[in-house]
Structure 1
Amino acid sequence: MNQLVENITTIDNELSKRHIDLDPGGYFIIYLDREANLICAKHYTNIINEQGLAVDPETGKVIPAKGKVERTAETLYTARTAKELSVKIIENPSCPVTMLDHACYLGREFIRAEMALISGQEYIQD
């Protein structure tokens, strides 16, 4: 790995350790549909409890950050590019994103997904 890539990776890894408040508007699971050449983002609703944890509005159970959770998505967004997906979500009158840091995170992830789609690399949401 060259020095620039190492520096960028170090910065990103450090920033990933900081505390962030969760968006009461919900969360997204991002993945690629390689057959259709699409970036996909499933939006799920949640409630943020007193401890700052995301809770399933139907069951009242805490939604784990890792692992498989069986929930039904509120909306499926698909697009050919990161920019197209961002516009579909953020410029939608019923946009579920309520926090600027969440919008920034989604933009970064959509770009990562687009780069993986173009390069054929695996995409794993951060």
Structure 2
Amino acid sequence: MLTQAATEAHELDDRLSNRFIELDESGYFLISVDREAVEICADHYSNTINDQGLACDPETGEPLPCNGDLQRQPVTHFRAKTAKQLCIDLFEKGASSVTRLDHAAYLGREFVRAEIALYSGEEYIQD
């Protein structure tokens, strides 16, 4: 059972997850866990940003849907056993595909959430 403070913190995070964010021109990541390999997975996809601030497919110029079955190939695959290892590979080894600090902070938070889910057996759903 959650305490009142924990409930309020979850509600705050839910509200913050629905705020407007400026998208990273270098692309986006889809994060998942591979339980068989015991790894956190981060696949990087390229995109362009249109005049309305929407992420678009660089090949077609069409806005990318937020849900549904979009069949695109990632530009880069990152895999690691821990969030720290994934951040080091992504940000410290020169392979970074991130140009915004808020995007980097978001990825760090998500990698930690994915690591917790990976080792606890909980389901991971990217925010």
TM-score bracket for the superposition, by shorter chain length:
over 0.9
Q: Equivalents in 2 of 1:22, 1:67: separation in Å? A: 20
1:50 matched residue in structure 2: 51
Q: Higher mean Cα deviation, 47-56 or 92-101? A: 92-101
How far is 1:67 from its partner? 2.1
Aligned to 1:31, the other structure's residue is in SS state strand
1:14 matched residue in structure 2: 15
2:25 matched residue in structure 1: 24
Please list the CA deviations of residues 22-62 of structure 1 after superposition, one character each: whole Å capped at 9, or x if unmatched: 00010000001100100000000000010000011111111
1:89 matched residue in structure 2: 90
How far is 1:92 from its partner? 3.0
**Which 4+ runs in 1 deviate beyond 3 A?**
none
Q: Higher mean Cα deviation, 53-62 or 88-97? A: 88-97
Identity level (%): 53
2:102 matched residue in structure 1: 101
Please list the CA deviations of residues 63-115 of structure 1 after superposition, one character each: whole Å capped at 9, or x if unmatched: 11222210010000000000110111111324110000000110110000000
Q: Equivalents in 2 of 1:84, 1:4: separation in Å? A: 31
Q: How many residues align?
A: 126
Q: Is the contact between residue 39 and residue 80 of structure 2 (CA under 8 Å) also seen in structure 1?
A: yes
Q: Equivalents in 2 of 1:108, 1:94: separation in Å? A: 19
Q: Is the contact between residue 32 and residue 40 of structure 2 (CA under 8 Å) also seen in structure 1?
A: yes
Unpaired segments of 5 or more residues in structure 1? none
Report the TM-score when normalising by structure 2.
0.95
Unpaired segments of 5 or more residues in structure 2? none
Amino acid in the other structure paired with 2:100: M
Report the TM-score when normalising by structure 1.
0.96
How far is 1:4 from its partner? 2.6
How large is the RMSD of aligned CA atoms in angstroms?
0.9
Amino acid in the other structure paired with 1:106: L
1:80 matched residue in structure 2: 81
